[in-house]
Amino acid sequence: MLLLDKPRGLSSNTALQHARRLLNAAKAGHTGTLDPMASGLLPLCFGEATKFAQALLDARKEYVAGIRFGTSTTTGDAEGEVLAEAPVTFDRDALQLALQRFIGVSRQVPPRHAALKHQGRRYYEYAREGIEIPRPARDIVIDGLELMEFGASDAVVRIRCSKGTYVRALAEDLARSLGTVGHLAALRRTATGPFRIEHAITLDALQARDAGARLTPLLPIDAPLCEMSRIVIDGEAARALMEGRSASSPAGAAGRLRAYGPLGRFMGIVEAAAGVLRPVRLVDTAARDDW
């Protein structure tokens, strides 16, 4: 796994393909789309690690968002055309109070230009054609909102939230709650799960290295699962699991676990229930005969 600092102006897939070519990887995937206008942490998985990318897709995220009040846009962000304008009359204290009201579990209506699908087509495809479609609200969780900067019509907010949270929609909803309109002016993802932007590398820095040095920032295959509980399995049980069979579970083991064989080799994800271990998602061990 590679922690990439995606630049503004590139789609997540374009950034992924650049990194894949630099690392000469046959198989690659990212762990949560960042819009082209956004920058920041984009964990990329290569080879067998792609099997475990879902753990980071589901992980909590952290963003630093620039919000501009007084102007709304067709896309909800700085790339859209101006849609409406309204006066900005609130002060810093009112904004602080409004932010607190958004913390916790809530229902959020996704933006018109989301990549979600309706009847097989992306929301943004309908939006570009001026077609209104149903956009069902979805459950989200905001863990924290910290006001970092505040000006006459701009604010910078640190956001900690669940997957599926649209910061564009949050910016618009926040502005509406303050009696005005607004849009997302800038966005940078600073954390995904336990991983932070401070440990990421840019594409330019990766490209500047020679082929061997480009491998140095790579994290091991099991990195996406680092927050999952760990279990070590003995040789006989490990072989059974790698062959797709169940095995006896160690006492006290329960739920989904990241499993390691007797030599400390990462096996993948197993599930323990009622004293039985079952394979869920395992690495490819076709070339190994020492399980």
Centroid of chain to Cα 214? 23
pLDDT, tens only, 105-119:
999 999 888 888 999
Residue 35 annotated among the catalytic residues of the structure? yes
Nearest to 182 by CA among 38, 73, 37: 73
Examine the domain organization and report whether 9 and 124 are in the same domain: no
Is residue 291 assigned to a domain? Answer: no
Examine the domain organization and report whether 26 and 73 are in the same domain: no
pLDDT-wise least confident of 24-38, 84-98, 148-162 = 24-38
Is residue 17 assigned to a domain? Answer: yes
Examine the domain organization and report whether 171 and 258 are in the same domain: no
H helix intervals, 8-151: 12-22, 54-57, 92-101, 123-128
Examine the domain organization and report whether 164 and 266 are in the same domain: no
What is the rounded CA–CA span in Å between residue 1 and residue 85?
Answer: 44
Q: Which domain holds residue 263?
A: 228-282
Examine the domain organization and report whether 205 and 142 are in the same domain: no
What CATH number is given to the structural domain containing 232? 2.30.130.10
Q: Is residue 90 over pLDDT 70?
A: yes
Examine the domain organization and report whether 165 and 104 are in the same domain: yes
What CATH number is given to the structural domain containing 156? 3.30.2350.10
Nearest to 4 by CA among 25, 37, 30, 26: 30
pLDDT class of 13 with cuts at 50, 70, 90: very high
- Lookup result for tokens 């609130």: 90
The mean per-residue pLDDT over the stretch 1-19 comes to 96
pLDDT, residue 252, reads: 81
pLDDT, residue 289, reads: 43
- Lookup result for tokens 């600092």: 5
Mean pLDDT of the chain: 93
Q: Is residue 206 over pLDDT 90?
A: yes
| Percent of the chain whose pLDDT exceeds 90 | 83
Examine the domain organization and report whether 164 and 244 are in the same domain: no
- Among 35, 154, 234, 290, the one annotated catalytic: 35
Examine the domain organization and report whether 123 and 179 are in the same domain: yes
Number of domains in the chain: 3
The mean per-residue pLDDT over the stretch 277-283 comes to 94
Is residue 174 assigned to a domain? Answer: yes
Examine the domain organization and report whether 76 and 185 are in the same domain: yes
pLDDT, residue 286, reads: 53
Is residue 95 assigned to a domain? Answer: yes
Examine the domain organization and report whether 65 and 188 are in the same domain: yes
Is residue 222 assigned to a domain? Answer: no
pTM of structure = 0.91
Examine the domain organization and report whether 110 and 169 are in the same domain: yes
Angstrom CA distances, 84 to 77, 87, 95, stand at 13, 11, 21
Is residue 290 assigned to a domain? Answer: no
- Grouping H, G, I as helix, E, B as strand and the rest as coil, residue 229 is coil
pLDDT, tens only, 182-204:
999 999 999 999 999 999 999 99
The mean per-residue pLDDT over the stretch 197-223 comes to 96
Examine the domain organization and report whether 183 and 199 are in the same domain: no
Q: Is residue 259 over pLDDT 50?
A: yes
Render 159-205 in DSSP notation, one character per residue. EEE-TT--HHHHHHHHHHHTTS-EEEEEEEEEEETTEEGGG-EEHHH
pLDDT class of 285 with cuts at 50, 70, 90: low
152 contacts 88 by C-beta, under 8 angstroms? yes
